[in-house]
Amino acid sequence: MSQNVPSALGSNQVKVQVKACALSPLDLKLHEDLKFQKDLVPVGREIVGIVLQVGPKVTFFQPDDEVVGILPLDTAMSGLCDTVIINENHLVQKPEKLRWVEVAGAIRDGLRAYTALHTLARMASGHTLLVLDGASPFGVLAIQLAHSHGVKVLASALSSEDHKFLEQLRPSVARVIGVWDAKVDLVDSCLEETGGLGVDIVIDSGVRLHEEEPEARCLLPYKHDIITLLGVGGHWVTTEQNLQLDPPDSRSLFLKAASLSFLNEEVWGASSARQGRYLHIMKDIVEKLSTGTLRPQLEDPVPLYDATVSMEMVQKNQVRKRLVIQL
């Protein structure tokens, strides 16, 4: 076996023929902070494909296995390539019955949902969760994951279309809060739904740091509002990297014994001590996709020749995510 492995393949590396990948927004500031000095930043890191070759010490996979994984942050390869080389600790088996695009489109958002709800917020049956921008690919999986653990879910909608989509979602959301409607108040809606107690967990999709901000951020919640609607002992999981809390905000969190966590799913690749937990999460995501517990809402995939335009749209927030199918 090992004599057929090219010299470029390391002991624990796997060569994968890519069948599909997902295009998600790039965090260029994170690359800069981590000193990844590259002229080109790889896109389409969420991949699914077929194992072509394995290194001599690979134990999890063999040729012809169908696999899914996320290329590490420091990779030099893109999921738009025909083949990629990746360490076996970044891959898990893909059940045969799952479509390529289904798994590629869900693996990263599933990882984010697990990180937010299990690792950071410690969700438990009976909790109340508010998912802001619930109709996003990440929001949908967070809602479904929470439902599977007996959590009551509230969700905000950024448009009338998102509102209608969330109203029809099954299992159903306890309350859809249409923040696109100026007459709807996020805080009042949450307090009304919880009998004035506030929610146990909030996951945001960005935060307004000041009451007056550019129109593009006008639908984001104001940080003070999130603190107000948070219950005693609650957990606020934020995606806002530049969040600044004033002393009165900190005082409010202190009085509620509430906690604030920053959601960065890239942290799983930062420590080898976390590899086992990381693989366990990815395996569970794939299993829940297989059983239908998690059902990503995906748009039709685009062919490879449309990938450049699609990535530009994703990066400019004109679309939330794109899937690329390799023909």
Mean pLDDT of 70-74: 89
DSSP 72-83: -TT-S--TTSSE
Query: Which residue's structure tokens are 């107000």?
Result: 228
- Lowest average pLDDT, out of 21-25, 197-201, 215-219, 250-254, goes to 215-219
Q: Three-class SS of residue 166?
A: helix
Contacts of 153 by beta carbon, 8 Å cutoff, 6+ apart? 128, 129, 130, 131, 134, 143, 146, 147, 173, 174
Note the pLDDT tens digit of each residue in 102-123.
999 999 999 999 999 999 999 9
What is the domain partition of the chain in residue ranges? Answer: 13-105+272-326, 125-262
Q: In whole angstroms, what is the distance from residue 183 CA to residue 186 CA?
A: 10
Query: What pLDDT score does 326 carry?
Result: 86
Could you please state the CATH topology (level 3) that the domain comprising 13-105+272-326 is classified under.
Quinone Oxidoreductase; Chain A, domain 1 (3.90.180)
pLDDT at 31 over 80: no
Contacts of 169 by beta carbon, 8 Å cutoff, 6+ apart? 140, 143
- Lowest average pLDDT, out of 5-9, 15-19, 144-148, 231-235, goes to 5-9
Cα–Cα distances in angstroms (integers) from residue 207 to residues 50, 111, 126, in the given order: 40, 21, 26
Same fold? 13-105+272-326, 125-262:
no
Mean pLDDT of 185-189: 96
Query: What pLDDT score does 275 carry?
Result: 85
Q: Please, what is the average pLDDT of the chain? A: 90
Confidence bin at 29 (pLDDT 50/70/90): confident
Instruction: Report whether CATH 3.40.50.720 matches the domain 125-262.
Output: yes
